[in-house]
A and B are shown apart, each in its own frame.
Chain A
Amino acid sequence: MALTLTCPICGKRNGYEFRYGGEDKGSRPDEKGLSPADWCDYVHMNTCTAGVQKEWWFHRDGCGAWFSTYRNTLSNLEVDRPEDST
């Protein structure tokens, strides 16, 4: 409940307003030649990072934007984009 998130449109807001959208796993893989296992990994498997991860959030009680941001899962605080991430 202490979480705040920075919506690219509305700015820093209370975490209550957002819905979590999962880890940032990259865009949908091509359907052609996709094995069931790979597909399942993409949809259901998570890295569950203990530390800073990039993830999706939806501003449900606000502008309705999906955006990605960085959060430290250990402190449950939004953090600046880490230096080594691309």
Chain B
Amino acid sequence: MKRRKGTNENLMTKAGGELDDRFKLAGPARVLMNKVFPDHWSFLLGEIALFSFILLLLTGTFLALFFEPSMTHVTYEGSYVPLQGVGMSKAYESTLNISFEVRGGLIMRQMHHWASLLFMAAILVHMMRVFFTGAFRAPRETNWMIGILLFWLGFFNGFTGYSLPDDGLSGTGLRIAEGMTESVPFLGPWVSAALFGGAFPGDEVIARFYILHVFVLPLALLALITVHVGLVFAQKHTQWPGPGRTEHNVVGYRMFPNYVMKQVGFMLLVFGVVTAMSGLFQINPLWMFGPYEASVVSSGSQPDFYVMFMDGLIRLFPAWEFRVPPYFTLPAVFWPGIVGMGLSVLLPLLYPLLERRFTKDRGHHNLLQRPRDTPARTGLGVMVIVFWVIGVVSGGNDVFAQAFHISLNAMTWGGRIGIVVLPIVAYYLTYRFCLGLQQHDREVLAHGLETGILMRDPEGRFYEVHQPLVEPDERGHTELEYSGATVPKKMNRIGVLEPAQRGFFKSIEEPSDEDGRRDQIETGNKR
């Protein structure tokens, strides 16, 4: 045993030497392996997006082996009985074939779709974490902007993707996109004719969307994701304030083995969850929608969730059309569809610069902020979230109306009023809530934790016992300054009330010998 181990080590050294001779790796490899990463669960949200993107590339490549991006007319002869003999495009036929005729094709399709939904959801949540903690401040504005571009690239990659099968649902989405395109003054009809190769739907659009979906957009995503993650690496990750943490250091654990093992584990976890979901939960059963026909649509046809916001805005926007007959028309859909989308790209893109302008804060920041400490920004963020959620809900208002027996008109009017009023209410409430939380932090720092122990003094009054965080002065006050870090609010946060021994049925701990432990810290020797 011993000897074999020795030879292995020699082999490693030898291989390393050969590599270093050629690529001069010793220095960079050490720097990479030693790099220190800060730890917090919210730093994993971006990773979920990254891992689902990898999954999208893998499953997408499989699908591309079987999908035919062609609008050539064929008659379906496959094994799905209800559609036998129906005329459809090759694109739809080949998608049906992936679902029914290709071994394991269905689960691949469903994995691709679930991964895309997870991708977009993870981007959104990641974006919220970056926003609410102020991680986008200098020097990381560039990465925020790249992030916004990633969201919109993902949005269009998703839209082109679910347009490809040319089924009833995707054709309806395309038709709406075409109507929006047409609405642009002066350019609209030309852009639409260029996109569809003439009148809608024509027979070019699937092939055009295909190259966008499998080449242009993923390539742009891949390039930007590389830069995005590269910048996180080069600029070093932000960290939460805490003992020993400053603007000029990073406290955490090493890239190797700790960080990398956790990342690999987490990636496999994301893969596993998506795979299991794709086996168990149906997504986009497009054989039920039939081929796209310009005259057929069913109610309750919803786009994927990240597009629903646009759909909701279009539903809510009032019928305001500007017309100078017979020369000029500005369709109502232009406002929510084109202007609305433009602003949702532009405003978030510029947000770091706008905030800089208002706060006049030009410094670099590597410590994160707690949302409660920036009530205005937090309020603004919640405002946007409320606006977005009302948009999404309105995008499915017919479904809600039916499920809850509300009249559709009431849903629409509720949405119209709500989308104007509720964000403002949300801003105000959030602002107050943040101030309240700040107040509570200061109280704990001054008086200590609430222990939940009620006492009665000799006069019969009740009071709650407080546990000061440090030795109090004679008036029971503690002079602790708020540092931007979490303030403990519960007794078990400061080590009280922890189970004395670990193990469920019987103790699995052996009494540790403190001295041995000391030794190892000093020498770092593990064995």
Query: Do A and B interact with each other, yes or no?
Result: no
